[in-house]
Structure 1
């Protein structure tokens, strides 16, 4: 059994700085906007252009896997649409690194036809029962979307390891997750983009 050495802090720092540049260029903006939570803001993150960029997707997956190193994780997923590209990229990279983590997503509402599933991506007979799951999210404001995913996944019998977001807007999510007894981590905080 061979073990892969942990990446150096310089390597992680370089990748993190590069991803921050990509997010700033492709996914961060100023100007009044109404957020999913209904709040108004003078800045926004639309991470889809970063998540669907070849380098951006690779860096998001790699830095997320680095952040989850040492955790025993069976699945990653979250609420559609923000979690879908992230979960897919993480699953692919984890397989390529020899430590596969499966992916899924939670529908905002179950389909009204077919199997009527709220958790998608599992094969017939496959279940989240007893599995260790990380809920991933692109941007977190109050935590409401991630809590919906947590509830659906818990209903499937999974053990929630943590909620992990790419960008925490720092507008109440940490407190909401703490109150719900959930560990919460982020790759970036909004303040890192607002200081320039």
Structure 2
């Protein structure tokens, strides 16, 4: 499948499984009359494969060591991308950042790293399913920076175009997306 055919097919899956109209309160606290819930797409066999493939294609020239982000949205994306990167002989390891460190066990904020493994000095992309203002991804970005990692990019599947680009520009991090919300609002 060509990249444009894959992008068109993924658009259909997101539109059918993950996009809708109706009043909703977003993670940012804002109200909206449309929403994206990408979990049904990320958990769909073809949707997961296409998300990983298109994200891998978008990131493969960025010389990355790790991909990760804030739970829950980043977890399936980072895992699928790590697996695909291994199959393509260009491994990018995955991790995720807890919204709140566990109150038992190792009490880690960053999960998925083996004992002795760190993000120190590593090039990292933060991934997110849907981005509105960027607040959720900033939490992951801050945790990675605290761990000594270098966030080189925030990459989202759908940018709602409601301030995230400005948020990441202020944070000094590049921001890109697979889709813009406006693409789904046209039809």
Normalising by the smaller structure, the TM-score range is over 0.9
Match of 2:136 among 145, 152, 165: 145
Aligned residue among 81, 93, 99 for 2:90: 99
SS in 1 for 2:2: helix
Aligned: 1:22 with 2:13: yes
Distance in 1 separating the partners of 2:57 and 2:73? 20
- Quick check: 1:46 aligned with 2:26? no
- The CA distance in 1 between the partners of 2:90 and 2:165, in whole Å, is 29
Given the alignment, which residue of 91, 95, 109 partners 2:100? 109
- CA offsets, 1:48-96, max 9 Å, x none? 0000100000000000010012110000000000000000000000001
Q: How many residues align?
A: 187
Q: Taking structure 2 as the reference length, what is the TM-score of the superposition?
A: 0.99
Unaligned runs of 5+ in 1: 1-9
Task: Give unmatched runs, 5+ long, in structure 2.
Answer: none
- Quick check: 1:118 aligned with 2:119? no
Structure 1 residue 175: deviation in Å?
0.7
**Aligned partners of 1:45 and 1:58: how far apart in 2?**
19
**TM-score by structure 1 length?**
0.94
1:81 to 72, 81, 90: 72
Q: Distance in 2 between matches of 1:92 and 1:176?
A: 30
Q: Once the two structures are superposed, what CA deviation does each residue of 1:139-181 show, in whole Å capped at 9, x if it has no partner?
A: 0000000000000000000011100000000000011111111
Moved over 3 A (4+): none
